[in-house]
Chain A
Amino acid sequence: KAGVTQTPRYLIKTRGQQVTLSCSPISGHRSVSWYQQTPGQGLQFLFEYFSETQRNKGNFPGRFSGRQFSNSRSEMNVSTLELGDSALYLCASSAGLAGGGANVLTFGAGSRLTVL
């Protein structure tokens, strides 16, 4: 079955611009989580959506936002880009229900954002 698809794969923006990243989860998965990956910081949790509702949120400023659609596809938006936002943004999907197995994340390839 198809994996987690993220678009675009690469993008370059300048400071002050905004960006929207998209994620299509594995069919049947209702939870989508977003992470920021940078060298030396590992994966930092941004937020998690389940059935169109934000269920968990990390410690990122309000410039980072997301949403989920009825077909479980998710988007994240970063407004007023800063140089420090340059990173690989990873999306992961899971069944999202209670129970250990539902917490297993399947990751996409990521969207690499460069802010100049």
Chain B
Amino acid sequence: GEDVEQSLFLSVREGDSSVINCTYTDSSSTYLYWYKQEPGAGLQLLTYIFSNMDMKQDQRLTVLLNKKDKHLSLRIADTQTGDSAIYFCAEARYYGGATNKLIFGTGTLLAVQP
């Protein structure tokens, strides 16, 4: 199908690690992305990974990519209350010509308890 799937909700305690999972559909996607949406705001790019990588680390964020299973995850170390938001994975799907279109996942609401 066309859908990029994520679990709906994750609740963690402050200081714990959070792992948000995503299953995408297009094995030819060259880049995969994680976006964050805070309440009442637009989406903001957090990080991305190129499809020939298995892992990318960026400060508290670790992205893992399993191409065989088309599975992407975002790990947030030492989760803070300010990390509470909706997290979207996205794949860049070829549209035609020189164009990709970003297909966003269903979003995961991360709630961080103090």
- Genuine A/B complex: no
